[in-house]
């Protein structure tokens, strides 16, 4: 898996196409998608056009997508996987992730709510039931690896111990304000890739991009704050997902180089702690604007 990944959580269809094309043009070869982002078709369109015009082979790109919470019932896993594959226009996926450990009411409504606006969870399926169905996807060759997302260390350990096929990747929020050091150590010990989302703190300001430690290092090494944050993520042993919308940001984010040891140490000593995305607590996405449900 290429360490530098492009994330496709882009609410606008036209921007999804231009940003995916620009990321491919800048050199990104790892693309992170999800059925919940509702833009797999646009990502697929941009990828196919970019591969054809750039003479890039399918095998040279790494494509991930994710199973949504309303598809956790084992009998829904294979159809959901196949539907994503069809929307992306691909014959196989490099990686398929369970998007969150929370099972929602099964069905086509991605955000099922009761009359009081509370999420309707599905208590009739466990994460391990869903994992077992994910494991069978690897048996028929259309999926090359499986993993988890938005999961904590304790729950990961339970799945890891019970799994026939161990998780290859764990995708979680991670940046200097949420380094997830304990989880990273466990992943390294077990040979699991920790894939960091929001490595730039989701562009939030104030946030890691404006942190005085980061801006001072950037000035010292002649790089931008974004490049410093991405280099730190790679050098500590994570892969990452960044979502530049412009071609200029895509080129900037792909052009990273190693930081000196003292700079890594300074970033590791940053004391600010902040989680930006609360998805880990409820399964409700933090960075996706809530849509009115069909019956509103
Ligand atoms: N598993 C999950 O639950 C989950 C949750 C959230 C995200 N994700 C995945 O992770 C991906 C990345 O997350 P993210 O969007 O938070 O990533 P991010 O790269 O930390 O944040 C993106 C923001 O940073 C800005 N930005 C990008 N490059 C920049 C640069 N060089 N200088 C200054 N600002 C820059 C972007 O602005 P511009 O648009 O102006 O470039 C955008 O506002 C998502 O697309 C998705 O694939 C997964």
Measured in Å, residue 42 CA sits from the centre of ligand 1 at: 18
Question: Ligand 1 pocket, 171 CB below 6 A?
Answer: yes
As a whole number, the mean pLDDT across the chain is 96
Model confidence at 5: pLDDT above 50 = yes
121 is catalytic: no
Cβ–ligand 1 contact at 241 (below 6 Å): yes
Reduced to 3 states (helix: H, G, I; strand: E, B; else coil), residue 213 is helix
pTM: 0.97
Distance, CA 243 to ligand 1 centroid (Å)? 4
The catalytically annotated residue of 37, 96, 160, 177 is 37
Tell me if 259 sits within 8 A of 217, measured CB to CB: yes
> Is 77 within 8 Å of 98 (Cβ atoms)?
no
Ligand 1, atom nearest to 200 Cα: 20
Distance between CA atoms of residues 134 and 81, nearest Å: 9
Q: What are phi and psi of 118, to 5 degrees?
A: -85, 145
**Of ligand 1's atoms, which has the minimum distance to the CA of residue 175?**
20
Q: Whose alpha carbon is nearest atom 12 of ligand 1?
A: 242
What does the block give as tokens for 186? Answer: 């466990």
Question: What would the pLDDT profile of 15-64 be if each residue is shown by its tens digit?
Answer: 999 999 999 999 999 999 999 999 999 999 999 999 999 999 999 999 99
pLDDT tens sequence across 112-125: 999 999 999 999 99
pLDDT at 295 over 70: no
Report the alpha-carbon distance of residue 69 to residue 104 in Å, rounded. Answer: 5
Q: Which residues contact 271 (CB under 8 A, 6 or more apart)?
A: none
Paired residues of 93 in beta bridges = 143
Q: Kindly report the number of other CB atoms within 10 A of residue 188's CB atom.
A: 14
Q: Confirm or reject: Cβ of 242 under 6 Å from ligand 1.
A: yes
Q: Distance of alpha carbon 8 from its chain centroid, rounded?
A: 9
Q: Is 64 close to ligand 1, i.e. is its CB under 6 Å away? A: no
Rounded CA gap, 239 and 195, in Å?
5
DSSP states of 226-283: HHHHHHHHHHTT-EEEE---SHHHHHHHH---PPPHHHHHHHHT--------THHHHS
């Amino acid at each position: 898996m290429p360490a530098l990944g492009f994330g496709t959580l882009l609410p606008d269809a036209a921007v999804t196409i231009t940003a995916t094309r620009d990321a491919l043009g800048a050199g990104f070869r790892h693309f992170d998608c999800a059925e919940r982002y509702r833009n797999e078709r646009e990502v697929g369109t941009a990828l196919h056009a970019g591969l054809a015009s750039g003479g890039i082979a399918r095998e040279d790109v790494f494509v991930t997508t994710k199973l949504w919470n309303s598809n956790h019932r084992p009998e829904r896993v294979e159809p959901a996987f196949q539907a994503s594959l069809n929307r992306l226009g691909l014959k196989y996926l490099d990686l398929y992730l369970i998007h969150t450990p929370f099972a929602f009411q099964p069905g086509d409504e991605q955000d099922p709510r009761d009359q009081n606006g509370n999420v309707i969870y599905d208590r009739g399926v466990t994460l391990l039931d869903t994992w077992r169905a994910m494991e069978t996807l690897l048996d028929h060759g259309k999926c090359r690896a499986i993993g988890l997302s938005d999961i904590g260390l304790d729950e990961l350990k339970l799945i890891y111990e019970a799994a026939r096929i161990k998780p290859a990747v764990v995708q979680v929020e991670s940046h200097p304000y949420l380094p997830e050091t304990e989880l990273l150590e466990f992943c390294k010990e077990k040979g699991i890739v920790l894939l960091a989302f929001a490595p730039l703190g989701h562009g939030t300001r104030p946030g890691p991009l404006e942190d005085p430690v980061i801006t001072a290092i950037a000035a010292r090494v002649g790089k931008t704050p974004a490049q410093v944050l991405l280099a730190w993520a790679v050098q500590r042993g994570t892969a990452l997902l960044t979502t530049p919308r412009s071609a200029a940001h895509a080129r900037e984010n792909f052009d990273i180089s190693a930081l000196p040891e003292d700079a890594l140490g300074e970033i590791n000593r940053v004391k600010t702690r902040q989680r930006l995305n609360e998805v880990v607590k409820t399964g409700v996405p933090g960075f996706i604007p809530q849509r009115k449900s069909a019956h509103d």
